Amino acid sequence: MSLEMEAGLSESTLAQERVLEQRTEILHALCSSGSAERLERLLDVLLARGELVWEDYQNIQVPGRALYASARQLLDLVYTKGVDTCEALLSALKQVLPEVHGGGLSFSGCCMNPEKEGVSRSTATQTLLTHRPDLVSELQGCIEGTLDALVVSGNFTSGDCGDVRLPTRTPSQQTSGSSLTKDKVSPPEEFLKYQKKLRSSVSAQSCFLSTYGGISHMSLDDIYTEGQLELAHDCANGLLGLEDIVGTAGTVNEEADTVLVSGEAGSGKSTLLQKLHLLWARGAALQDFLFLFPFSCRRLNSEHMELSAQELLFQHCCWPDREQEEIFQFILDHPHLTLFTFDGLDELKQRFSDENRLCCPTQRAPVHTLLFNLLQGSLMKGVLKVTTSRSEAVGPVLRRHLRKEVLLKGFSPSGIDCFVKKHHSDPTMAAKVLESLQTNNALLGLCHSPVLCWIVSQCHKELLGCGEGSLQTITDVYLMILQHFLQHQSPLKSAMGLGWLHDHLQSVLHIGQLAFDGIGTSCYIFSSTDLKTCGVDEKDICMGFLIQSKEMSSTHGKRYEFLHVTMQCFFAALYIVLSSDTDRSTILKIFELRDMRETSQSGKCFRACLPSTIQQEPILAGEDTVAERPNLQITATFVSGLLSQRHRSLWVDCCPSAMIEKKIKHVSRCLSKGMQKHFKSIPQPVAGEKKSMHAMPDFVWLIKCIYEMQESRIAQNAIGKLDVDHLKLTYCNIGPVECTALAYVLQHLRKPVGLQLDNNSVGDVGVEQLLPCMHICNSLYLRNNNITDQGICKLISKVIQCDNFQKIALFNNKLTDACTQHFSHLLKTRQDFLSLRLGNNNITAEGAKQLAEGLKVNQSLRFLGLWGNKIGDAGADALASALQNSKSLLWLSLVGNGVGNAGACALANIIKNSPSLEELWLTENCITRTGVECLIQALKHNIHVKSVWLRNNDLSLGEVQEMTQLESRLVF
């Protein structure tokens, strides 16, 4: 074999090998956007070059086939056609996907087959084929004119035009359709009819709020209040709008199609989805999606038949009256035009797993298998899915398949205001409710949770009549709604005092048992038989705690669910407290702590303590069916609250006090043991370091249970033995409610701690809630917590009196110059204050001047951090003159403050005079040679300074080298 031949052979085989080797990348490049556009352009080029014939094209573009399947068919065909076609494919890819090519995928080394390129085609059809790619791009934007011309010339009918104009086609599909093929996509009228039917069914399901079902009808439009939405992985991006949920912001995994909206119970996840559904149905949002299929995991639990993806869509959402196949194929073909929502993934009986793979949309499987495959994208890849869940119920396996996670953090303070005003049409009443909230901070904190805000607004009479400050805990609020509903039953007896519970005890126990059995088996929808088994009758239903379930199919009889799942937890707790059938083992199970490695065991154990009738029920007995842990924990929180000394009088006539006493003992022992378990996990400190405790998953929950009990003795028992210097509770979902509980419990610590609450949702209300424990804190870290000047004003006026308090860090909040007068006051008053870090806020020169007033007279501050503000040269000047006489300052950071040369020269005075300064940070400050020279001069007078950081300023490489030679303590 000659050398040329050998070279030719290896180059040719190379092309074929490359198509094989790069198959996955090519497929990804063609299909990952979910749009068929790229594949179509590639086909156009290959047709034009004669590499594919028309028949090949039709074999690839089979209507209804998934995009990936078509692309695979193309690659198979090209490979079997041989080396030349492989080369042509690689070359066409370069043309079609230049950006991908530039991004690392190399299809190079191939040229077009000149013979085929030069084929002359005599007929018009051939010309159309040869010039197809150019025609496609030229026709984009002038399709309408072309269609008109074709109709006028008699070549096209209006039906042909309709096919081409099909709204869901990509621009190049529209163009290709006019010249080559009329895809067998369903005709527009049928498709539009289905879309219309789907829209009206989605609209009907979403226009009312179910919590109001038992009492009145409240339209979503009238009551919907924006909740606070944040990206889980991008704190800097601030709050999101509703449509950002499906947008690209915050994407962490481009490959994945599932967006998770997570939040606590009652934070408004279902309501948010409902709002999205309604907006879509009205054409007011998400208009990139032609179809939206809403699913409720709670209702999917009741589906015991195996279904295909197609059956799931049509049977559970909206049935197409005609042409089901075509409509489904259309959805498969255009996955990016469809949105699925799955509400309450945490309520699904099975835990997410990606083990049973299913790819075929027509293959039947159990509904949870379908759901898991849809979420992980092996089924109906490209369809965007939005699912909601409590955050703690989402495991690492699902997280791997998430495109992004969005956190729903309940109402902001202004959201509470807005909700209460919407809830009460009478503005005087709204004002009274808001006024009473302002006088009760613990209750105001609770109202950040929409479900609690709803209860408080609903029970305004009880609220206004119950006296200031008597509502402190979540249990108090739920007892209030219990009383509200029960008294609604017998209004004449409304002045009956404590007897209100006793009079309805049997009903409460029956509903309680239903709730309790359901919590143990993740059952949230109840049949008439379930109700009968627990003795719940029509009169009990009328009380309003149970509402009729919105059913997807009429084959089931009437079904019921609790107004809200937290209400079910509350009734389960009432049952645990009041029933003689529950004992120590029940309490032990609901208070069982989560092992870090444990997933579902506790649920199974809990089931074991349910009555045997429930255990044997076939739907509930599946191996992987579990009680949902977050609901068990909410139930345990309510049990703690109900067993509080404050509510003991309620039970006097309802059950033997010895039984209640016993249960109290069990609960306090569980809480104390739970805390001990945490303390045991604290590692011994490394020499020279402080003893630090990182909160484990259940720590905050235990703290909340202790708070619900409102008994100092229990709090003292549980926390008094904690011996740490630093308590770290970062990323623990701590909002105002948790702050209230933390402050209540931490007050009982024996020695001062550093409290680190970075990256939570403390806010101003939370800050106020923390005040009672400030005397036991020596430092407070509140990075990224939505805190404003208002919160700081209250915080400082408290900590100024706390002798232990010496350090505060508030980076990434919403502070402005208005807060600096308070810090200035703190610095003036406290001559033992050590560290003030206010980085990344909105402090300007004015704020720096205010701070300088305090710094002038302070002789204790060692660390001052103001990076990422906007103090400029004037601010730097003020700080410099205040700090140049400081004998305590060790570390000063003014990174990214635009201090410039003037600022640098002013700051040089600190270097010149300070006997203590060790580090000065001036990175990113637009400083040039002039400024650095001032610093160098000053450094000549100071041997204590260890480093001056000057990275990313306006200096050339040569200047940097020269200055480093002159002064080695400058860091560039």
Binding site for ligand ATP (CB under 6 A): 209, 211, 223-225, 227, 263, 265-271, 344, 390, 419, 450-451, 454, 564-566
- Tell me how far, at minimum, the Cβ of 211 lies from ligand ATP, in Å: 3
Q: Is 73 left (phi over 0), alpha (psi -120 to 50) or beta?
A: alpha
How far apart are the C-alpha atoms of 186 and 324, rounded to whole Å? 9
385 or 969, CB closer to ligand ATP?
A: 385
Helix (H) or strand (E) holding 921: strand 919-921
Q: What are phi and psi of 380, to 5 degrees?
A: 50, 50
Which of 116, 113, 97, 114 lies closest to 105 in space, CA to CA?
A: 97
Q: How far is the CB of 261 from ligand ATP (least distance, A)?
A: 9
Shortest spacing between CB 124 and ligand ATP, in angstroms: 60
Shortest CB 573 distance to ligand ATP, Å: 15
Which residue, 209 or 614, has its beta carbon nearer to ligand ATP?
A: 209
For residue 185, the 8-state DSSP code is P
Q: How far is the CB of 454 from ligand ATP (least distance, A)?
A: 4
Q: Smallest distance from the beta carbon of 424 to ligand ATP, in angstroms?
A: 13
For residues 697 and 596, is the Cβ–Cβ distance under 8 A? yes
Q: How far is the CB of 386 from ligand ATP (least distance, A)?
A: 13
Neighbours of 282 (CB within 10 A): 14
Query: Cα dihedral angle (495, 501, 507, 508), rounded to 10 degrees?
Result: 140
Shortest distance, position 746 Cβ to ligand ATP, whole Å:
28
The residue nearest ligand ATP at its CB is 268
How near is the Cβ of 511 to ligand ATP at its closest, in Å? Answer: 18
Report how far Cα 192 is from the mean position of its chain's Cα atoms.
33
User: Which residue, 457 or 672, has its beta carbon nearer to ligand ATP?
Assistant: 457
Max CA separation in the chain (angstroms): 109
Backbone angles phi and psi of 340, in degrees to 5: -110, 140
Which CB atom, from 393 or from 845, has the smaller least distance to ligand ATP? Answer: 393
Residue number with CB closer to ligand ATP (401 or 409): 409
43 or 443, CB closer to ligand ATP?
Answer: 443
- Helices 23-31, 3-21: axis angle to 10 degrees equals 50
Nearer to ligand ATP, 219 or 947 (CB): 219
265 vs 511, beta carbon nearer ligand ATP: 265
Closest of 381, 391, 428 to residue 732, by C-alpha = 391
Beta strands in 782-841 (DSSP E): 807-809, 835-837
Question: Residue 656 is encoded by which pair of tokens?
Answer: 């033997």
d(CA 387, CA 451): 20
Beta bridge partners of 756: 728, 781
Give the shortest CB-390-to-ligand ATP separation in angstroms.
5
Minimum CB–partner distance for residue 346 and ligand ATP (Å): 7
Q: Measured from the CB atom, is 211 or 533 closer to ligand ATP?
A: 211
Find all residues with CB under 8 Å of 267, minimum gap 6, and list them: 227, 408, 409, 410, 449, 450, 451
Q: How far is the CB of 968 from ligand ATP (least distance, A)?
A: 58
Return the number of the residue (455 or 932) whose C-beta is nearest ligand ATP: 455
Nearer to ligand ATP (CB atom), residue 85 or residue 566: 566
CA distance 869 to 539: 63
Closest to ligand ATP by CB, 566 or 756: 566
- The β-bridge relationship of strands 559-562 and 526-527 is antiparallel
Helix (H, G, I), strand (E, B) or coil at 754: strand
Separation CA 708–CA 702 (nearest Å): 10
Query: Is the CB of 227 or the CB of 898 nearer to ligand ATP?
Result: 227
Q: With H, G, I as helix, E, B as strand and everything else as coil, classify residue 753.
A: strand
Q: Which residues of 929-938 are buried (b: 16+ CB within 10 A; e: fewer)?
A: eebbbbbbeb
Residue with Cβ nearer ligand ATP (379 or 433): 433
Radius of gyration of the chain (CA): 34
Between 269 and 589, name the residue whose CB sits nearer to ligand ATP.
Answer: 269
Structure-token match 């609903």, residue found: 458
Min. distance of Cβ 644 from ligand ATP in angstroms? 23
Counting beta carbons within 10 angstroms of the beta carbon of residue 960, is it exposed (0 to 12), middle (13 to 18) or buried (19 or more)? middle
- Closest approach, Cβ 538 to ligand ATP, in A, equals 24
Closest Cα to residue 398, out of 257, 251, 298?
A: 257
Q: Residue with structure tokens 């309680």?
A: 512
DSSP 468: T
The least CB distance from residue 442 to ligand ATP, in Å, is 19
Q: Which residues contact 957 (CB under 8 A, 6 or more apart)?
A: none
Structure tokens at 273: 């989805």
Q: What minimum distance in Å lies between the beta carbon of 510 and ligand ATP? A: 23
Pairing of strands 947-949, 970-971: parallel
Residue 38, both tokens:
């790229």
Question: E-assigned strands of 333-379?
Answer: 338-343
Q: Which is nearer to ligand ATP, 161 or 202 (CB)?
A: 202
Give the distance from CA 232 to its chain's centroid: 5
